[in-house]
Amino acid sequence: MELLEQYILQKGTVLPGNVLKVDAFLNHQIDPVLMQALGQAFSERFKKTGITKIVTIESSGIAPAVFAGLEMGVPVIFARKKKSVTLQDHLYTSTVYSYTKKESNDISVSKAFLTNEDTILIIDDFLANGQAAIGLLEIAEQAGAKVAGIGIVIEKSFQQGRSLLEKTGIPVYSLARIASLENEQIEFIRED
Amino acid sequence: MELLEQYILQKGTVLPGNVLKVDAFLNHQIDPVLMQALGQAFSERFKKTGITKIVTIESSGIAPAVFAGLEMGVPVIFARKKKSVTLQDHLYTSTVYSYTKKESNDISVSKAFLTNEDTILIIDDFLANGQAAIGLLEIAEQAGAKVAGIGIVIEKSFQQGRSLLEKTGIPVYSLARIASLENEQIEFIRED
């Protein structure tokens, strides 16, 4: 998506360790005009797949997800992150390891909002090692919900997440795919 | 705001201890159509006050804030919550005590995104004891930013937050004001 690539090039910065900092428009300060465009792009791709709910994780997935939800006419659920979740009967839970933060978080979704009658679209801000998306897939599985697709804002294609998710057979749609951050240069994979 | 009051009456539940549960449309599952309406209401009230940025706290403030930001044509910053923040030179920080969770969280905003040239609108999902809003006011003060208003989705008017904030002289605009949750009955304050 060209608009997103422009934002990344103009407002993103590359830090040591292949870290792409996008807190100027995505995960600390948020640009609502861009978020609306991202939501429209996800809707355009998935609107004919029978989605009943969008599922994301707090916090940075929420903004693109609510605009996608508005476009598609469906509610958005954000999984909550907690250091430790007391086992509760009314929650679906999964454990997500963050390579960036080097810590595990339990994520949870209330059983009240996700059932085996749902067809969901998973949306997240980043796809790197794929652990967050896999955690959401586990929650969908616990609910018996069908997953019609995974929508990602920025994919670091040089990490393992994409290939892990592709093994599930679920369509992965990333709005920007980064081939490399070597030497602090941002290189995109362009698809036609 | 009538639409919001309808949502609260139809989809909210009152739990013991004056807790209003609105996780069906605001703070776990999110209704994007309602969020857009909330954003428009905040914009309508504050659009002539010279707002340059909206500031909220993760996670439940983000959805109404991004729709307000889209309407008003300004970026949204969400303050990050952490159990403990290593003192960092490039962050404004404040400590917020949650009476609900009985814990303190440090909240922080990057100095890169808030300066003394900004006029901000603070948006949050709930106003109860006012601690979150006061934390954001402290961050605004550290930045030297002017605060033009505080926009709240649901105010529990029987708790101290409203009166604490009114002492600052900053306009507080709540889209739903709850007078009482006694006996599991939701009573609103209606303003004309």
Cross-chain CB nearest to B28 (options A59, A63, A78): A78
DSSP B160: S
Q: What is the ipTM of this complex?
A: 0.96
The answer, yes or no, to whether residue A23 has pLDDT greater than 70, is yes
Closest CA to A47 of A39, A55, A56: A39
User: Is the dihedral angle over the CA atoms B107, B113, B116, B121 positive or is it negative?
Assistant: negative
Confidence band for A100, pLDDT divided at 50, 70 and 90: confident
Which 62-91 residues of chain A touch chain B by CB within 8 A? Answer: 62-63, 66-67, 69-70, 74-78, 80, 83
Report the pLDDT value the prediction gives residue B89, as an integer from 0 to 100: 75
The percent of residues in chain B predicted with pLDDT above 70, rounded, is 96
Rounded to whole angstroms, how far apart are CA atoms B191 and B127? 17
CATH number (3.40.50.2020, 3.40.1160.10, 3.40.50.10490, 3.40.50.970) of B36-176 reads 3.40.50.2020
Rounded to whole angstroms, how far apart are CA atoms B157 and A112? 28
What CATH number was assigned to the domain covering residues A32-176?
A: 3.40.50.2020
Q: Does A32 touch chain B (CB under 8 A)?
A: yes
Cross-chain CB nearest to B66 (options A24, A30, A112): A30
Which 159-188 residues of chain A touch chain B by CB within 8 A? Answer: none
Confidence band for A88, pLDDT divided at 50, 70 and 90: low
pLDDT tens digit string along A104-126?
989 999 999 999 999 999 999 99
pLDDT tens digit string along B92-126?
999 999 887 888 989 999 999 999 999 999 999 99
pLDDT tens digit string along A139-187?
999 999 999 999 999 999 999 999 999 999 999 999 999 999 999 999 9
Cross-chain CB nearest to A23 (options B33, B67, B110): B110
Q: Which residues pair with B151 in a beta bridge?
A: B123, B173
DSSP A112: G
